[in-house]
C-alpha cells in the first residue's frame, strides 16, 4: 500500500493538474491559438444579402492552458522529488 506522503501527494496533484488542463483544452475545442472569450459567427442580412460578422459570448481555451498546466505540473513533480529525499542515516 502506498503511504500518503508529501511526495506522493505532490505527484498526484501534478497528475490531476496535467489531466485537468489538457481535458479543459480538449473539451472546449483544442484551439492552437490564444484563449478566446467571444466567438465570431457570420450572419447574412436578408434584405441586402451582405455577410457580416457577429460576436457572441463564448469560451475556447487556447494553447496556453495546457502549456501552463504542464509547466505547473512539472514544478510540482520536481518539488515531489525534493520532498522525497531523505537525510542520510547517521
Residue ranges of the chain with per-residue pLDDT less than 50: none
Strands 51-60 and 36-44: antiparallel
Per the structure, how many domains does the chain have?
1
Give me the pLDDT at residue 13, please: 94
Give me the pLDDT at residue 54, please: 94
Query: What is the rounded distance in angstroms from the CA atom of residue 9 to the CA atom of residue 52?
Result: 52
Give me the pLDDT at residue 12, please: 92
| Residue tagged 506522493 (cell numbers) | 8
Domain presence at residue 71:
yes
Other beta carbons within 10 Å of 47:
6
Give me the pLDDT at residue 84, please: 74
- The whole domain housing 29 covers 6-84
CA-based end-to-end distance of the chain:
28
pTM for the full predicted model: 0.74
Domain presence at residue 66:
yes
Give me the pLDDT at residue 63, please: 95
Give me the pLDDT at residue 83, please: 80
Domain presence at residue 1:
no
> Exposed (0-12), middle (13-18) or buried (19+): which is 25, by Cβ within 10 Å?
buried
Amino acid at each position: 500500500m502506498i503511504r500518503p506522503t508529501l511526495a506522493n501527494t505532490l505527484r498526484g496533484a501534478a497528475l490531476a493538474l496535467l489531466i485537468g488542463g489538457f481535458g479543459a483544452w480538449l473539451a472546449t475545442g483544442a484551439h492552437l491559438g490564444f484563449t478566446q472569450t467571444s466567438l465570431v459567427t457570420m450572419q447574412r442580412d436578408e434584405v441586402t444579402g451582405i455577410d457580416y460578422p457577429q460576436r457572441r459570448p463564448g469560451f475556447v481555451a487556447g494553447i496556453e492552458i495546457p502549456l501552463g498546466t504542464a509547466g505547473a505540473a512539472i514544478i510540482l513533480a520536481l518539488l515531489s522529488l525534493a520532498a522525497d529525499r531523505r537525510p542520510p542515516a547517521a
